[in-house]
Amino acid sequence: MLDYPNEVSTVLFVGTCNLRCRFCQNLPLLSMKDLDFKNNIIPKLISRKQMIDHIIISGGECLFDPKIKDYVTYLNDKGFKVGIHTNGMNFDILKNIIDDIRFVGMDIKTTYEKYKSKKISKNINEIMNIEKSISLILSKNVKYDFRTTLYPDYVNLKDLKQIAILLKLGGVKEYNLQKYIPIRENEINYSNEDINNFKNELDNIIKTNIRGLI
């Protein structure tokens, strides 16, 4: 996963999320007690300020953390450059903080139809916010990264083409595919050959990159 383009960064994970993706490696975060941000986290970051000045707030889903605006404001005040990882489904909060961040990494899990059919989300309003968030990100002076994790139960080539077309029509220049890293035994996964074939097909729609091949 790309945390901050071409820069060394520290990633802060929050324990809130509106989704329950089966491939998520961070589900244990949702049951963990939050640390005191100002007293436990900020002092450690400041002590390492000479080595790290880019902070990424991730999750979970950071835009559903009620303190996200405070986090961003406080980090900016301390001189850090702030970015986020998001699923783009909390448009109002994204709109509220986007002028205060430098980077948005947005994960598009699958097609709108499969968000519902695979029980990733049943909230139609949140699902429709994805396209609004894409437009907002592109309208701002912010670095961005639009990506999809290649979890076989959530996306196939037809789904990826649908996502690629959505991004292309929205004005996105590049699309990134991330190989799924299995978290259970005997999981079905796409081969490197499969993924390269996806890239070749999607390159006909939008410039496509691959991450995570070994």
When pLDDT is cut at 50, 70 and 90, the band that residue 1 belongs to is very low
Mean pLDDT of the chain: 92
List Cα–Cα distances, 143 to 87, 88, 181, in angstroms: 16, 15, 26
| Polymer length in residues for the chain | 214
**φ and ψ at 148, to 5 degrees?**
-135, 130
Whole-prediction pTM: 0.92
User: What pLDDT shows up at residue 49?
Assistant: 84
| DSSP sequence for 155-183 | --HHHHHHHHHHHHHHT--EEEEEE----
pLDDT, tens digit (0-9, with 9 covering 90-100), for 29-65 = 777 766 677 788 888 888 888 888 789 999 889 999 9
User: For the chain, what are the domain ranges?
Assistant: 9-211
CATH of domain 9-211: 3.20.20.70
> In this predicted structure, which of 42-46, 94-98, 125-129, 160-164 has the lowest mean pLDDT?
42-46
Residue 154 corresponds to which tokens in the numbers above? Answer: 């959530």
